[in-house]
Chains A and B, each alone.
Chain A
Amino acid sequence: KAGVTQTPRYLIKTRGQQVTLSCSPISGHRSVSWYQQTPGQGLQFLFEYFSETQRNKGNFPGRFSGRQFSNSRSEMNVSTLELGDSALYLCASSSGGYTGELFFGEGSRLTVL
């Protein structure tokens, strides 16, 4: 069974630009969550989508947005990039029922210059 796939794996942007990251969950999983990981703050929850609806949202500014498609694939977008947005962005999928297990992808490492 294929795991969670995130693209691109690495990207470099400059301040003020925007970026779109993509996540394909494990087949059959309907929930996709996004997390930001930085050395200073650790893993922080961004948002969760379930069946194309945002089910949960973390404490990030409106520049961070996401969506989920009918095939459960998800994208997140960050607009007007700031230096502090440099981070590893992790996507995690789950079946939607709560087993305590999120299956994480390898992440998209964003560097903002």
Chain B
Amino acid sequence: QKEVEQDPGPLSVPEGAIVSLNCTYSNSAFQYFMWYRQYSRKGPELLMYTYSSGNKEDGRFTAQVDKSSKYISLFIRDSQPSDSATYLCAMSAKKGNNRLAFGKGNQVVVIP
């Protein structure tokens, strides 16, 4: 079993819809949770970063972490065509540790 599971299926939504993405993980030591966005032919860029359980909101993006269920989510409200990208969840156990465990990513297409 991989440490981080992210159903890699593509997702197509109409512009303005809410996009919901999620990951599950098996390592209970994970405390730092991230979402990266990767555009085609580019490297990933950090979207959201959360520590431990809870919610974090940044504009149209909301990240949720439920450590008891080992489940994290990313919601994109009012999705735009510019949100079309691959979204990767990532996590690590230790502060100062840049060894991240990534999910496989979800390709999201927002249709105008």
Q: Which residues of A line the B interface, CB within 8 A?
A: 4, 31, 33, 35, 41-45, 48, 55-56, 58, 90, 92, 94, 97-107
Contact = CB atoms under 8 A, between A and B. Distances in A.
Contacts of B8: 42
B34 A98 contact: no
B48 to A, nearest CB: 9
B99 interface: yes
Top 10 closest pairs, chain A to chain B, by CB:
A104-B43, A100-B49, A42-B104, A43-B102, A98-B96, A56-B99, A101-B46, A98-B95, A33-B98, A45-B99
Greatest chain B CB density within 10 A among A4, A33, A98, A99 is at A98
Given A102-B44, A102-B98, 16 more contacts: A4-B43, A33-B99, A41-B104, A42-B8, A42-B104, A43-B102, A44-B102, A48-B98, A55-B98, A56-B99, A58-B99, A98-B95, A98-B97, A102-B46, A103-B45, A105-B43
Contacts of B103: 42
A34 B110 CA distance: 31
Interface residues of B, number: 24
A104 B99 CA distance: 14
A102 B99 contact: no
A111 to B, nearest CB: 15
30 contacts: A4-B43, A33-B98, A33-B99, A35-B102, A42-B88, A42-B103, A42-B104, A42-B105, A43-B88, A43-B90, A43-B100, A43-B105, A44-B102, A45-B101, A48-B99, A55-B98, A56-B98, A56-B99, A58-B99, A90-B44, A92-B43, A98-B95, A98-B97, A98-B98, A100-B49, A101-B49, A102-B100, A104-B43, A104-B45, A105-B43
Contacts of B105: 42-43
Given A42-B104, A97-B96, A98-B95, A104 B49 contact: no
B100 A45 contact: yes
